[in-house]
Amino acid sequence: MPDPIHSIEPIDLMSSILVFCSVQDGRIKRSSLEAMTRARDVASGAGLGLSAVLLGSSAHDLAGEAMSYGAQHVYVVMDRVLDTHLNAPVLSALESVVREAAPRMLVAASTESVKDILGALAVRCDAAVLPDVASFALSADEVSCQRPVMAAKKLANTSSTHSLVFVSVRSGSYEAKQAPADGTVVEVAFTFDDATLRQTLKEVVTTAGDTVDLSEAQVVVAAGRGVRDENGRALVQELAEITGAAIGASRAVVETGLFPATAQIGQTGKVVSPDLYFAVGISGAVQHTAGMANSRIIVAINKDPDAPIFDIATYGLVGDCFTILPLLNAALRDAMN
């Protein structure tokens, strides 16, 4: 790990793309590394540098990982208050880093924590924002992007000619690829007055079963209305266990309480793009498919042969999930061994 330095060679204004790396369970999120890979390509095409920012007490330890994806400067803000997400201190920390780094763009993965701060940070830093994009590019005078609108039925070609542009990137839009750089860690001074917070994080309630992070998972097993009850849920859990999958759900079965709200996939929930997605008893309304249509292989199991999920499924199995899943679970167990 390189030593931190407190004064660095002056960076020209607008000389870099700065990537905010989200940290979860002691690692940089895959979606952040995807965004960073794209930012690296865009920066190199435009003759800009690549920097990263990491927040929290593990920031320094993770700087090396950011460098392995090409970050030449890694700004770290080490305060423990940043170990859990609370918007006021995160905003303060990122504002300090943006002022110090003076980037052309700030790029981040479109996580719930990033969605929480992006608008306010833009007002604070006098930036334009292109949120939740599926792709982005930078030319001499503008940042352009495509972003899903109307529950992802359309992609809007959106752009900004503002001098500072923030972009948040949907998970799975790009592939994360390493390209090591000789980087420097820059510790950014940060003081935060609790008295000015006007907000307190009391607790974070996690649900048992959130063992695999949904938005990062390579395999997702998602349940819909066809998974009627606890017996159906047990079959879904078994399939997830066999395939090492995270469990997702449509809004219908979150509303009934059968699955936790953290499992919800779709326009109002999480966006996932795993290698393999099992849609079990999910009809495939656009509000759901908006969150999963970029999955590589989609296996749909539904007894209604006309269910719209079959329009996007790689493999559609017409049948009742209560009949199919026990057979599939047994066959997968054999196949995995």
Enumerate residues 259-318 that contact other proteins by CB under 8 A: 261-262, 264, 267-268, 275-276, 293, 296-299, 305, 310, 312-318
List binders of other proteins among 46-85 (CB under 8 A). Answer: 85
State how far the Cα of 249 lies from the Cα of 138, in Å rounded to an integer. Answer: 36
Out of 11, 176, 181, 197, the residue judged to bind other proteins by CB under 8 A? 197
171 binds other proteins (CB under 8 A): no
Out of 115, 139, 211, 229, the residue judged to bind other proteins by CB under 8 A? 115
- Please tell me what DSSP assigns to residue 81: G
**Which range, of 7-15, 105-113, 178-186, 221-229, touches other proteins by CB under 8 A?**
105-113
CB 264 within 8 A of CB 248: yes
Q: How far is the CB of 234 from other proteins (least distance, A)?
A: 18
Query: Angle, to 10 degrees, between the axis of helix 87-101 and the axis of helix 112-125?
Result: 50
88 binds other proteins (CB under 8 A): yes
CB 36 within 8 A of CB 20: no
CA angle 219, 220, 221 (to 5 degrees): 130
**Which range, of 35-43, 46-54, 62-70, 212-220, touches other proteins by CB under 8 A?**
212-220
**Which range, of 50-58, 59-67, 71-79, 203-211, touches other proteins by CB under 8 A?**
203-211
> Which residues face 28 on adjacent strands?
23
Out of 206, 211, 231, 256, the residue judged to bind other proteins by CB under 8 A? 206
List binders of other proteins among 213-242 (CB under 8 A). Answer: 213, 215, 219
Q: How far is the CB of 15 from other proteins (least distance, A)?
A: 22
In b/e form, how buried is each residue of 154-183, taking b as 16+ CB within 10 angstroms?
Answer: eeeeebbeeebbbbbbbbbbbebeeeebeb
231 burial type by CB count under 10 A (0-12 exposed, 13-18 middle, 19+ buried): exposed
